[in-house]
Amino acid sequence: MGFNYNKGVYGGRLVNDPELKQTESGTPVANFTVAVDRPYKKGAQKVTDFINCIAWKGTAEFVTRYFRKGNAICVTGSLQIRTWNDKNGDRRYAPEVIADEVCFVDNKQEAQAAAEEDDFKQSAADLQTQTGMPGSVIPDDIDDSLPF
């Protein structure tokens, strides 16, 4: 038996907000995609790879709470190749990274603030739904540089 090691580090930006789901037994699982630019020579065309990732349990909850589309992210995990037969009976393959660790690359405070703003918007929407009255309206084009 030879040496076997399956571990990779992928750094890039989230293509979409991570999506949190639960298995039938209630285990949290999150799917997300990281856009990773390949190194390229000056004057060459940039190539981007889109790495599909899966996080489980606490890591799934962490990534969906603190990360949003466009955030820089670093994922450490193992590569697996999922296989299945499509409706025509052809064998299909999908590489995906099972995330062991997910780390901030952007400022942690910026990521936390984005998560808190989303929580606030959801609370306002929930209040509006419950009461039938408009809650706070938060425009998407707020100028965060204002000192007040």
Per-residue pLDDT tens digits for 15-31: 999 999 999 999 999 99
The DSSP H or E segment spanning 65 is: helix 57-66
pLDDT above 70 (res 137)? no
φ/ψ of residue 28, rounded to 5? -70, 140
Higher-confidence position of 111 and 146: 111
d(CA 32, CA 75): 11
Say what the pLDDT of residue 63 is.
Answer: 96
pLDDT above 80 (res 127)? no
Four-residue CA torsion sign, 61, 20, 94, 41: negative
pLDDT above 90 (res 65)? yes
Per-residue pLDDT tens digits for 97-109: 999 999 988 765 6
pLDDT above 60 (res 95)? yes
Kindly list the structural domains of the chain, giving each domain's residue range(s) and its CATH number in brackets, ordered by start.
8-106 (2.40.50.140)
CB 18 within 8 A of CB 29: no
